[in-house]
Amino acid sequence: MQWHRLDRDRTIAMIDSVKTAGDSGLFAPTTSEAKCHKLSFYRNLLLYRLTNYASLPSFSFDYLGDGKTYFYLDGSVMPIYAANDAGHLFLDPSNVMDYLTFFFEHVSGPDGDIFVIDRMQDHPALDALSGDQVAAIAVHHQPPEINANIAGDFTIKTSMVYLGTLVRAVITVDKRGRVNVLDTQMLMSSSISTSGYSAGDMAR
């Protein structure tokens, strides 16, 4: 991911835009850094990261924004869906996997983190596994299958890490960016079902 650091004036403007009465002292221009990253599936929005280095340890907040309006990514689906509904989202077969990766990086599931595995090297624990474990994952890993309909909705079969296990999942993404995990099947053991698990549950 290639980040671009904001200059001092833009950093001050961002801090002024995102601060609220309750956390006005959370970020200061002298001790904070703001940077942004382009996302392939948004027309006018960038991913922003604001970091406070005065705190030990330092901490960061992520936002979607256009330089004036910002959506704070709080771990729920709501800010992402709000940004999508504002007309910024553009999905096609070339970027829908990028969107899924971004979505699950910034939305917490009810049972823990979910990692979409577009490529074998995307596995979050790959560096900690033994050679035999990596070989076993490589045998069972399958590339994503992406199907789009004329309405602009997608059905995707992809590998992901769910509940700490490598699974094959069926996920739908509609043209508004709503995500639903319909089914999961363990790639190296018996199958499990999420019973129509919806990313909307994450907002609760």
CA gap 150, 154 in Å, rounded: 10
More confident residue, 187 or 81: 81
Distances (CA, A) of 180 to 12, 36, 110: 38, 28, 13
CA gap 118, 103 in Å, rounded: 13
How many other β-carbons are positioned within 10 Å of the β-carbon of residue 52?
Answer: 16
Nearest of 107, 106, 141, 92 to residue 121 by alpha carbon: 141
Tens of pLDDT, residue by residue over 67-76, are 999 999 999 9
Nearest of 34, 162, 29 to residue 100 by alpha carbon: 162
Tens of pLDDT, residue by residue over 26-75, are 888 888 999 999 999 998 999 999 999 988 888 999 999 999 999 999 99
DSSP secondary-structure letter at 204? -
Q: What is the mean pLDDT of the chain?
A: 83
Residue 190 pLDDT more than 70? no
- Amino acid at residue number 180: N
Reported as type and span, the H/E element at residue 138 is helix 131-140
Tens of pLDDT, residue by residue over 74-131, are 999 999 999 999 988 999 999 999 999 999 999 987 777 788 887 766 666 666 666 7
134-148, 152-166, 186-200, range with greatest mean pLDDT: 152-166
